[in-house]
């Protein structure tokens, strides 16, 4: 099949005007000018998207698809209050709720142009949702406890799930990893055991230095996460005692070896200093930046320019729909770009093209899958999207990356393809999904969660 469009963005090279991409057997066989490829391959089926951009699918470096049904239900709260409210809502979920919520999230991701998802889950619902919809993904099994006596049992349960999910994963479509719970809710032995478990290259994801409250809790032992504060707020959550460590979250977790595993993704890294960044660079830890979530919950702003200059591998994540309300990589790029520019010095002025790369090839590099996806290159898998630019105020343009970031929305995504198979096409999801059942379930779940 030949895919044609006014603009083709390979990401790894300059864009092509009036370009084309040849897809055969699930892979990219050629990228070039439309006139040349149509001449060379006259018998190929042609899909011409017109005034649109063809580009690699977005690689979502961090999310929690199973929280999709909570969109808009926990509003206008700072991080700690939001987190505790989320924990209370979770208690109302059944396994069926997790499954259907994740399925809604996976469908939303596909129609938003996301072709690869890095998702953290304990229930496994997001893993099954990705399989159902046909998305590529790295699924991290979350595990944690603050009780020393529970460490072995919770890890054994996680290892069993990981083995089962690996046996069920679609070849080349889903990788299975492990994710310790956030630092303020995880016994250090969990980190030590995960460090040993992941020496074989198992992907590891860890929330790290995401909020001021986490930073103060780890360093000073005093924040809204402390026991008196939790009790005063009336949350029905047990929090164990905590001894102040006197160090940053990054330096604290270094004691337990998990960052020394060969394939680690650290999420957020908002409250880090130069020494923290240096230690992350030394261990080749990749970073997932989630600008909208951090802004929405008042968590702070990651020092992206410093991280890029230091040479860290960085990708953009949409994070939990319960926080951001939408699974929207375009909004993530736009807001992230504006925040970084507004806080920059002018010497570190970031471009739209850099953010498109952060949402595609850079994110693939952060997840260690850049050999397969993230750019339109011959031999890579055909994970490709088309974004309509016909109503953009920047068309015609010499900078389609700017047009995408600054003028489009997720609704302008008109086609999503994974490994040569079209999953979303101009408003229609190709997988056979019982929409009437899913819509009824969504209504039922939201009424329960609102009650």
In terms of DSSP bridges, do strands 421-425 and 428-429 run parallel, antiparallel, or are they unpaired? antiparallel
- Residue 447: strand, helix, or coil: helix
Is there a single domain that holds both residue 312 and residue 388? no
Residue 246 placed within a domain? yes
Per-residue pLDDT of 115-172, as tens digits, reads 999 999 999 999 999 999 999 999 999 999 989 999 999 999 999 999 999 999 988 8
For residue 228, pLDDT beyond 70? no
**Which one of 366, 394, 413 terminates a domain?**
366
In terms of DSSP bridges, do strands 58-63 and 16-24 run parallel, antiparallel, or are they unpaired? unpaired
Residue 421 pLDDT class (50, 70, 90 cuts)? very high
Using CA atoms, how far apart are residues 9 and 20, in angstroms rounded to an integer? 10
- State the pLDDT at residue 242: 60
Residue 311 placed within a domain? yes
Residue 186 lies in domain: 58-366
- State the pLDDT at residue 234: 43
Is there a single domain that holds both residue 278 and residue 342? yes
Looking at the chain, the whole-number percentage of residues with pLDDT higher than 70 is 95
**Which one of 366, 392, 411 terminates a domain?**
366
Is there a single domain that holds both residue 360 and residue 398? no
- State the pLDDT at residue 23: 98
Is there a single domain that holds both residue 213 and residue 139? yes
- State the pLDDT at residue 233: 45
Is there a single domain that holds both residue 256 and residue 297? yes
Which residues contact residue 153 at a Cβ distance below 8 angstroms, ignoring those fewer than 6 apart?
Answer: none
Is there a single domain that holds both residue 287 and residue 335? yes
* Contact indicator for 194, 258 with CB cutoff of 8 Å: yes
Residue 428 pLDDT class (50, 70, 90 cuts)? confident
For residue 237, pLDDT beyond 50? no
Number of domains in the chain: 2
- Residue 311: strand, helix, or coil: coil
For residue 318, pLDDT beyond 70? yes
For residue 38, pLDDT beyond 50? yes
Is there a single domain that holds both residue 81 and residue 12? no
Query: Chain-wide mean pLDDT for the chain?
Result: 93
H or E stretch at 208:
strand 204-208
The b/e string for 371-385 (b: 16+ C-beta within 10 A; e otherwise) is ebbbbbbeebbbbbb
* Contact indicator for 364, 374 with CB cutoff of 8 Å: yes
Is there a single domain that holds both residue 302 and residue 228? yes
For residue 403, pLDDT beyond 80? yes
For 20-29, 133-142, 188-197, 436-445, which range has the lowest pLDDT when averaged over its residues?
436-445
Over residues 37-50, mean pLDDT: 97
* Contact indicator for 143, 121 with CB cutoff of 8 Å: no
Looking at the chain, the whole-number percentage of residues with pLDDT higher than 90 is 84
- State the pLDDT at residue 185: 85
- State the pLDDT at residue 227: 46
Residue 352 placed within a domain? yes
- State the pLDDT at residue 341: 95
- State the pLDDT at residue 236: 43
- State the pLDDT at residue 71: 93
User: Based on the number of CB atoms within 10 Å of its own CB, is 306 exposed (0-12), middle (13-18) or buried (19 or more)?
Assistant: middle
Over residues 399-403, mean pLDDT: 96
Residue 353 placed within a domain? yes
Higher-pLDDT residue of 160 and 429 is: 160
Using CA atoms, how far apart are residues 179 and 190, in angstroms rounded to an integer? 10
Higher-pLDDT residue of 186 and 364 is: 364
Over residues 21-33, mean pLDDT: 98
CATH number of the CATH domain containing 409: 2.30.40.10
Residue 188 placed within a domain? yes
Is there a single domain that holds both residue 226 and residue 285? yes
- State the pLDDT at residue 331: 97
Residue 210 placed within a domain? yes
H or E stretch at 138:
strand 136-143
Which residues contact residue 73 at a Cβ distance below 8 angstroms, ignoring those fewer than 6 apart?
Answer: 89, 322, 446, 449, 450
- State the pLDDT at residue 226: 53
User: Based on the number of CB atoms within 10 Å of its own CB, is 239 exposed (0-12), middle (13-18) or buried (19 or more)?
Assistant: middle
Using CA atoms, how far apart are residues 220 and 81, in angstroms rounded to an integer? 20
Higher-pLDDT residue of 228 and 395 is: 395
For residue 444, pLDDT beyond 70? yes
Residue 230 pLDDT class (50, 70, 90 cuts)? very low
- State the pLDDT at residue 348: 85
Is there a single domain that holds both residue 114 and residue 203? yes
Residue 373 placed within a domain? no
Residue 440 placed within a domain? no
Is there a single domain that holds both residue 284 and residue 411? no
Is there a single domain that holds both residue 39 and residue 77? no
């Amino acid at each position: 099949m030949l895919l044609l469009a006014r603009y083709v963005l390979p990401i790894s090279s300059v864009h092509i005007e009036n370009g084309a991409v040849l897809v055969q057997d699930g892979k990219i066989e050629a990228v070039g000018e439309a006139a040349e490829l149509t001449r060379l391959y006259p018998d190929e089926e042609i899909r011409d998207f017109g005034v649109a951009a063809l580009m690699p699918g977005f690689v979502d470096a961090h999310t929690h698809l199973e929280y999709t049904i909570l969109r808009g239900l926990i509003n206008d709260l700072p991080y700690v209050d939001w987190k505790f409210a989320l924990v209370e809502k979770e208690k109302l979920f059944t396994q069926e709720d997790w499954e259907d919520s994740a399925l809604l999230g996976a469908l939303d991701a596909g129609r938003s142009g996301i072709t690869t998802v890095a998702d953290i889950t304990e229930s496994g619902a997001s893993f099954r949702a990705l399989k159902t919809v046909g998305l590529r993904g790295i699924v991290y099994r979350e595990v944690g406890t603050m009780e020393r006596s529970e460490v072995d049992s919770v890890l054994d349960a996680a290892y069993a799930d990981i083995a089962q999910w690996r046996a069920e994963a679609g070849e080349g479509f889903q990788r299975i990893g492990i994710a310790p719970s956030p630092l303020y809710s995880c016994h250090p032995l969990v980190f030590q055991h995960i460090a040993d478990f992941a020496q074989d290259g198992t992907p590891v994801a860890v929330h790290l230095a995401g909020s001021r409250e986490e930073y103060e809790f780890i360093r000073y032992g005093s924040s809204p996460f402390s026991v008196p504060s939790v009790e005063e707020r009336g949350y029905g959550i047990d929090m164990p005692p905590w001894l102040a460590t006197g160090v940053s979250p990054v330096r604290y977790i270094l004691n337990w070896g998990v960052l020394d595993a060969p394939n680690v993704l650290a999420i957020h890294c908002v409250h880090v200093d130069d020494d923290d960044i240096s230690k992350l660079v030394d261990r080749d830890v990749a970073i997932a930046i989630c600008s909208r979530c951090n802004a929405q919950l008042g968590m702070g702003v990651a020092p992206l320019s410093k991280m890029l200059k230091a040479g860290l591998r960085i990708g953009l994540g949409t994070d939990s729909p319960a926080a951001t309300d939408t699974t929207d990589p375009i909004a993530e790029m736009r807001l992230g770009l504006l925040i970084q520019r507004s806080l920059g010095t002018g010497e570190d002025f970031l471009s739209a093209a850099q953010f498109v790369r952060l949402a595609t090839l850079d994110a693939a590099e952060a997840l260690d899958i850049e050999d397969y996806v993230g750019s339109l290159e011959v031999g890579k898998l055909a994970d490709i999207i088309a974004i309509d630019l016909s109503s953009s105020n920047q068309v015609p343009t010499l900078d389609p990356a700017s047009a995408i970031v600054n003028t489009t929305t997720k609704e302008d995504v008109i086609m999503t393809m994974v490994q040569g198979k079209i999953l979303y096409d101009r408003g229609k999801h190709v997988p056979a999904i019982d929409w009437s059942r899913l819509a009824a379930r969504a209504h039922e779940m939201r009424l329960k969660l609102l009650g």
